[in-house]
Amino acid sequence: MQRRELLSQGVRLGTLALLCLGGRGQPALALGGTLPELGLAAPAFSLDGVAPGPDGQAQPTHLNLGDLAGSWLVLYFYPKDFTSGCTLEARGFQRDLSAFAAAGAQVIGVSADDPDQHASFCGSEGLTYPLLSDPGGQVSKAYGSWIPPFSQRHSFLIDPQGVLQALWTGVRPAGHSQEVLAELTRLQEQGA
């Protein structure tokens, strides 16, 4: 799938995203900032958050992009824990988590909520993947996903070498996990 087609799949013009779709080397803009370019290294991050512990309960964690090298990464940004759309999206990723794991991919959510809020959200929704806290929006900004005080609903698919392979803006929470999983499968079949 061409860059323009992939971007248009995730774009809802007039709602959450407006992209400037030029050729390679021209920045793509979305409501939330300048998006990182497909085919280049994903922006680095280093954030605190929560991850499932050995007892299944959310435990404090600190993750950076380098910690995740060697596996595919679904990095999704969302506005706020416990809101209807964010809960729907989180449940979708949780439902499909075993399929992502079977494909060698990890799922990580990022919002401005603090780690305690994330722990409560994970416990309430039975989430067993990490949620990271970006209270000042520095990482969200690097991914073109920040309008203070919230991260925007954008998702990124990063390959095992740390290269950005796909992105979605203006995400609709229902069925989004399946969209990402389908693109991951397609990219792996192509040998990306």
Neighbours of 6 (CB within 10 A): 19
100 CA to centre of own chain: 13
Three-class secondary structure of residue 151 per DSSP: strand
Q: What gap in Å lies between CA 60 and CA 53, rounded to an integer?
A: 9
CA dihedral 174→161→104→2, nearest 10 degrees, is 50
Kindly report the length of the chain: 192
Q: What gap in Å lies between CA 143 and CA 30, rounded to an integer?
A: 10
Buried b (16+ CB within 10 A) or exposed e, 56-95: eebeebebebeebeeebbbbbbbbbbeeebbbebbbbbbe
Contact, 78 vs 86, CB < 8 A?
yes
Q: Which is the catalytic residue, given 30, 65, 86, 187?
A: 86
**20 catalytic residue (yes or no):** no
Q: Would you please indicate which residues are annotated as catalytic (active-site) residues? A: 86
